[in-house]
Each structure stands twice: as C-alpha cells, then as structure tokens.
C-alpha cells in the first residue's frame, strides 16, 4: 500500500477485528478463576475451586447449593466427556475409512456416475445440520431404532465422511500417478498398488482428514442433540443443556479446558501441515 | 480380465459410501419430504393420508378447518432470511479489509494471523456462544463496564434481542467468510492494481473496476458458506435470542421436541432445504458462468 495513513488505519481495524475474535475467549478463561459463585461477572478473588469441582474434589460444593445434585451433575459431565471421546474415536475411524476409499475411487477410476458422486458428496456438508438431525431422528424412530450412542455415531459419520473425502481428494490431486502406473507395469496387482504405493503417499492427507473429523465430531451439537436419547449425551449437548438451565461457574472451567484442548489440537494440525510441506 | 478386476476394486471402494449415505443421508431426507405431506397424528406421529395443509398453514392457503393460517411462520421465515443476509453482509464488511491486511504482511506474521483466524474453528461453537452470553447479560461484562464508566445509567438490554442473535452469528461465521475471501485477495494480480493507479484511476475506481471483480469469486464463495448455516441455525437464536430473535430452525426444533407435530416440522425443514438448494444452484451456475468467461 502506497499510503501510510491508510495502512495504519487498516492495521488498527484488523487488530480490533482479532481482539473481537479473541476477547470472548479470554473473558471465559479469566472468569473461570473467579471465586464469586453468585454473580460470576463480579470479581471476588482468584480460585481453582471450579476446576477441582469438576473432579468432584472441591469442598465449595457444600456452599453452592445442594451437594448431592452438584456431585451428580459433575458425574454427568464426566460421563458426557467420555461419550464424546468414544463417539469421536469411533466416528473418526469409520468416516476416515469410508471417505478415503471414496476419494481413491473417484480420483483413480473413470466411471459413469463419477460426476454425480462428486456433487453428491458435497451435500452432507452443505445441508443445514438441523435438517439432517431431524431427518435421522424421524428415520430412527420410524424403523424402531432406540436412540443411543450408536445413533449418535451414525449421525456423525453421515457428514464427517464428506469432510475426510475432501481432504484426501485434495491430497490425491497433488500426487504423481506415474508411480502407480510403474507399480502396475512391474506386475503388482491393483490391491498391492493401492496398499503399497498409493496409501503411503496419502498418509498425511488421511491423518489431516481424520484430525478434522475428530475435531468436528467432538464439537457437533445439533445432530447429536436430535439423535441422542435420554441416556448418552456428548459434552457439547451437555453444556448446551447446562446453559439452558442457567449458568453455573463450573461451565467456565470446563469451557476453559475445551479452549485449551482446541489450541493444542490446532497447533498439532499446523505442525502436521508444515511437515507435509517439507 | 483386468477390466473385470478393476470393476471389483471400484465396487469395493464405492460400496461403503453408497450404502451408508444412501441409507443414513438420502433416505432420511426423502422421509422428511414424505412426512411433510402427511397429516399429524393426534398424539404425535403421523397418519398416512395426503395432506398439503402443513404448507398451507405457513404460506396462507389453510382453510381454517384443517389448519389455520398463522402469518407468524411466514414472518419468522423472512426474519431468518434477513438475519442470514445481514450476517453475510456484516462478516463481509469485517473480513474484507482484514483479508487485505493479512495478505500484505510478511510471511512470518501472515502465517501467525492465518493461524489465529482458523483457531476458533477448532474451538467449540457452544463455548464461543456461551462467552457472549456472559458478556451480554444484564449483569454481564459489557454492562458492568458501561455502568462503571458511567456511559449508561441502566443496563443495556442486548441479550435475548435480534441484535444479540446477529452478533452471535457474525462471531461464529467470521472464519468461514475469511478463508475464501483471503484466497481470492491473496491471488489478486497486484500489477493490474498498480497499472490502474498509474493510469490515473483514483482509489474508488481502482477498487470498483480492478480489485472487486477479481475478488468476486471469494466474496461469492464466502457468502454461500456463511448464508447456508446461518439461515437454518437454531443454536445461536436459542442461546442468545428471545422471542423476537426466533428463527425457522427454532420452529423446527419446537415441532419435533415439544409440539410433536412431525409433519409440520418436516414442512418447515423442507423450506430450509429448498432455500439451501436454491442458493447452492445459484452459486454453481454463477461459478460456471464466471468460469466460462475466464
């Protein structure tokens, strides 16, 4: 830019923009250490009580309200976290396998319905999650399937497969098909070429797709909200319910931990990408 | 022989996605379409008779016997479209200058800020919305600051208003607008911009005739990616909006989880789906036209 005053204004605007994005997260982190249980926005003094409370260790529980209810909700939250992790691991595995297979099929084979598949695989990502959520809800109830962890896993896989597909497909597009042709010319069967030549080259893309699938699965709220029954819920649905019932200071602590976890995962993803570039 | 083996491998690769998405994606959408034309059962569920009054109730041809036309549904639909459009415009206004700024930074800073913009994408949506709940509450951070500073005499009522809903949507959608915009701004042909300036065009002319047309694909892409999840959103209005911030997604949720009128909820979902497909088709045909010219 030729105009320094213009550049300064642009810089100021941009920094305000980034402050707008990050300030709310810092608000949560800051208040997760505030000891005031009645009005958590008025600062009392520094405390770790809400973090120890998450683990059921805090004696604050007695003065918050009903101790039994308090411990129960903590247990529920830990159960929700477990469900989230279980669901995320299983859905990541399934959707990575299906998505990768699909990406290979569409990149390496010519067949009549190829264009239709390519377009169709975009739909689960573009369809608003509420539509997919209620569609699955009606479907499961209609065929008499009980809402459980299984229905949550199915729900997540429907759209995560497409995300993995996109990431792996982008990776295949950057590969040199000559290597596979050489493998075929040297007498390797199609399966062997696939396993020993194509898959190793795809590994970073597959890992990237799996990471994305894991993150989105951990974060999904809407589809899980509709297809989880009264039993298993995931962490986002649990937090959603907690917010609806009224805010408790422990939410700040769990939210801070979630923010921390997401920073770690994002940094890991960045590191993965920079390695890929080498 | 070789040909047959290839088709076996292809079939093995494609079978899982075909089966899975066929059963758990396509079929549920078809069921929504079907249910939207059935009549509601007395105690939840459906009765298997053709019934177009679900749509009549929304669009106004209900006869008052089968269903009653309630203009509120149409109003909420229009409001949802309006909120989503406003979200698109606001994210665009916020992201466009910043994308420009980031693209002009040195490599080190550019990578840092690109990382900072993608980071919220990894962070839980519900956590980010919850932060705004803390900020906007009558006793929240914003009002505490404003009151202490003496800027207002009574707490501002922002939470549970349309303003809060649009603010929340802008906040969660910003990364989706930024990335496609950034790609198109980053690949901008700077020689053309300089040529335009050297040839005597002023800044407004250069922007309108050189920069804007070149970044149009990014603007269009970002707008579609923001508009679609915004129009069917139910979490943001649920957490931050009150009665005046209700969107069509909330109506759908109510029909399924409290009112138990599945056919009517399906009809409302069909409208969301129709809006989404219309927007997608529009953007694809626009991209084709633009591609044809290039």
pLDDT tens, residue by residue, A68-127: 555 567 778 888 999 999 999 999 999 999 999 999 999 888 888 888 999 899 999 999
pLDDT of B3 reads: 46
Span of A67-71, A135-139, A170-174, A258-262 with lowest mean pLDDT: A67-71
Cross-strand partners of B44: B42
DSSP conformation class of A34 = B
Give yes or no for B43 touching A (CB within 8 A).
no
Please state, rounded to an integer, the average pLDDT across all residues of chain A: 86
Report the residue from B13, B31, B144 with minimal CB separation from A41.
B144
pLDDT of A66 reads: 53
| Selected residue of A3, A30, A131, A187 to mutate for chain B interface (largest B Cβ count, 10 A) | A131
Nearest CA in chain B to A265: B122
Contact A129 B116 (CB under 8 A): no
Which position has the higher pLDDT, A112 or B179? B179
Q: Is the pLDDT of residue A140 over 70?
A: yes
Ranges A152-161, B110-119, B121-130, B182-191, most confident: A152-161
The DSSP secondary structure of B194-219, one letter per residue, reads HHHHHTT--HHHHIIIIIHHHHHHHH
Nearest CA in chain A to B255: A134
Alpha-carbon distance of A124 to B107, in angstroms, equals 35
| A258: chain B residues, CB-CB within 8 Å | 123-124, 127
Share above pLDDT 70 across residues of chain A, in percent, rounded to a whole number: 90
pLDDT tens, residue by residue, A35-63: 876 666 677 778 887 887 777 666 555 45
Contact B9 A191 (CB under 8 A): yes
Ranges of each domain in chain A: 80-246
All structural domains of chain B = 75-293 (1.10.3720.10)
| A165: chain B residues, CB-CB within 8 Å | 17
Alpha-carbon distance of B13 to A113, in angstroms, equals 14
Helix, strand, or coil here: B50?
strand
Alpha-carbon distance of A120 to A29, in angstroms, equals 41
Asked if B228 contacts B195 with a C-beta cutoff of 8 angstroms, the reply is: no
Q: Kindly indicate the confidence band of residue B192, based on its pLDDT and cuts at 50, 70 and 90.
A: confident
A136 Cα to chain B: minimum distance (Å): 6
Contact B132 A157 (CB under 8 A): no
Contact B119 A266 (CB under 8 A): yes
Give yes or no for B186 touching A (CB within 8 A).
no
Interface confidence, given as ipTM, is: 0.90
Nearest CA in chain A to B250: A130
The fourth-level CATH superfamily of domain A80-246 is MetI-like (1.10.3720.10)
Q: Kindly indicate the confidence band of residue A151, based on its pLDDT and cuts at 50, 70 and 90.
A: very high
Taking alpha carbons only, the member of A38, A36, A56 closest to residue A46 is: A36
Nearest CA in chain A to B134: A41
Report the residue from B6, B9, B29 with minimal CB separation from A135.
B29
Strand B46-50 and strand B38-40: the pairing is: antiparallel
Report the residue from A98, A142, A240 with minimal CB separation from B17.
A98
Asked if B155 contacts B147 with a C-beta cutoff of 8 angstroms, the reply is: yes
Nearest CA in chain A to B234: A130
Its pTM stands at: 0.90
pLDDT of B294 reads: 42
Taking alpha carbons only, the member of B21, B130, B133 closest to residue A235 is: B130
Alpha-carbon Rg for chain B, nearest whole angstrom, is 24
């Amino acid at each position: 830019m030729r105009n320094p005053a213009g550049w300064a204004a642009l810089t100021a605007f941009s920094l305000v923009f980034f402050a707008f994005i990050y300030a709310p997260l810092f608000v949560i982190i800051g208040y997760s250490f505030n000891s005031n249980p009645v009005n958590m926005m008025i600062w009392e003094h520094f405390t770790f009580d809400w973090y120890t409370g998450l683990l059921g260790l805090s004696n604050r529980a007695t003065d918050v309200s009903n101790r039994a209810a308090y411990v129960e909700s903590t247990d529920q939250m830990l159960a929700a976290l477990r469900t989230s992790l279980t669901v995320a691991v299983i859905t990541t595995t399934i959707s990575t396998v299906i998505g990768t297979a699909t990406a290979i099929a569409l990149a390496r084979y010519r067949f009549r319905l190829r264009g239709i598949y390519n377009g169709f695989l975009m739909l689960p990502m573009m369809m608003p999650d509420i539509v997919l959520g209620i569609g699955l809800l009606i479907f499961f109830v209609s065929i008499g399937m009980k809402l459980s962890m299984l229905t949550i896993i199915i729900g997540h896989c429907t759209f995560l497969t497409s995300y993995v597909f996109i990431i792996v497909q982008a990776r295949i597009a950057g590969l040199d098909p000559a290597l596979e042709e050489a493998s075929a010319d040297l007498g390797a069967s199609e399966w062997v070429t696939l396993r020993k030549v194509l898959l190793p080259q795809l590994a970073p893309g597959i890992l990237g797709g799996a990471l994305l699938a894991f993150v989105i699965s951990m974060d999904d709220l809407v589809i899980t909200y509709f297809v989880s029954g009264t039993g298993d819920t995931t962490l986002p649905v649990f937090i959603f319910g907690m917010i609806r019932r009224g805010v408790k200071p422990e939410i700040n602590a769990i939210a801070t931990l979630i923010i921390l976890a997401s920073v770690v995962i994002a940094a890991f993803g960045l590191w993965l990408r920079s390695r890929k570039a080498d | 022989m070789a040909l047959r083996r290839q088709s076996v491998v292809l079939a093995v690769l494609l079978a899982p996605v075909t089966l899975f998405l066929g059963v758990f994606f396509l079929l549920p959408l078809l069921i929504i379409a079907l249910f939207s034309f059935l009549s509601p059962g007395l105690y939840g569920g459906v009765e298997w008779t053709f019934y177009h009054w679900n749509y009549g109730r929304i669009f106004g041809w209900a006869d008052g016997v089968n269903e009653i036309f309630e203009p509120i549904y149409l109003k909420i639909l229009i409001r949802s479209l309006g909120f989503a459009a406003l979200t698109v415009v606001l994210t665009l206004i916020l992201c466009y200058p910043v994308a420009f700024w980031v693209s002009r930074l040195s490599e080190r800073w550019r990578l840092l800020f690109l990382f900072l913009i993608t980071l919220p994408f990894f962070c839980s949506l519900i956590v980010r919305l919850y932060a705004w709940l803390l900020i906007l509450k009558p006793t929240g951070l914003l009002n505490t600051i404003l009151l202490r500073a003496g800027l207002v005499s009574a707490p501002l009522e922002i939470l549970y208003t349309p303003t809060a809903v649009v603010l929340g949507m802008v906040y969660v959608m910003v990364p989706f607008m930024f990335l496609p915009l950034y790609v198109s701004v980053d690949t901008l042909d700077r020689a053309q911009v300089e040529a335009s300036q050297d040839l005597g065009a002023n800044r407004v002319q250069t922007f309108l005739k050189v920069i804007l047309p070149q970044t149009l694909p990014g603007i269009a892409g970002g707008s579609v990616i923001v508009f679609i999840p915004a129009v069917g959103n139910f979490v943001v209005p649920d957490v931050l909006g009150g009665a005046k911030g209700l969107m069509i997604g909330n109506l759908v949720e109510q029909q399924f989880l409290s009112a138990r009128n599945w056919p009517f909820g399906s009809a409302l979902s069909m409208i969301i789906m129709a809006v989404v497909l219309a927007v997608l088709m529009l953007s694809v045909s626009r991209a084709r036209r633009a591609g044809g010219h290039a």
